[in-house]
Amino acid sequence: MTNTSTQYSGEFVFTKGGSIDFGEIPEDIAKTIKRQAGKIRLRIGKQVNGEKDNFGECHINRETRLNQLNAIGYADARDAAEDISMNYDEIYENGIGLLLRNSNNATAYICIEPNLENSENDFYDIKTITPSNDRYFKTKNGYGNDHSRLSNESGSTPNLHQKTPREFAGDSLCLL
């Protein structure tokens, strides 16, 4: 169930501007959080009921999640992915992945996808996107003290956090 105006390049979804890169974790932020820098991308992915390895646009655009995203102002997975990837305000560690959260109370779960032939082609893959609840995030400790040198694509400075939310009050975060 994808938006017919959405364009694709192989397995990747294009942004509204025609790029496969929705945003990035730049070098300065990557050093602070001790992670690899990389572009953030959205793949077409898959959604098969009953399976646990669902991800990407198909998974995010399933009816229940799409209704939740519509309720906070997003048209579809691409719209939410582009906004969060370009305008994240906070980063939380989540095991092997990261959670990016924006001021619209939306959270994207991303994981690095290694390219075994050329590590310069590694990218962060958006696995899922969900609305998030403020109450849970307010209890988390900050990661690092000086964020003045850090900025995301939009030029704002995200807050970095060590702890990872796995559940929001009243809402579960579906990681995959």
Q: Residue 118 in contact with residue 149, Cβ under 8 Å? A: no
Helix or strand holding residue 77 (H, E)? helix 77-87
Q: Report pLDDT for 136.
A: 57
Residue 81: band (very low, low, confident or very high) from pLDDT cuts 50, 70, 90? very high
DSSP 8-state assignment for residue 170? T
Nearest Cα residue to 53 out of 131, 125, 132: 125
Answer yes or no: is pLDDT of 56 > 80: yes
Residue with tokens 């924006």: 102
Show me where the domains of the chain are located: 8-172
Among the ranges given (43-47, 99-103, 149-153), the one the predictor scored with the smallest mean pLDDT: 149-153
Residue with tokens 């032939």: 117
Q: Report pLDDT for 137.
A: 58
DSSP 8-state assignment for residue 121? G
Burial of 96 (0-12, 13-18, 19+ CB in 10 A): exposed
Residue 124: band (very low, low, confident or very high) from pLDDT cuts 50, 70, 90? very high
**Mean pLDDT score, 99-109:** 88
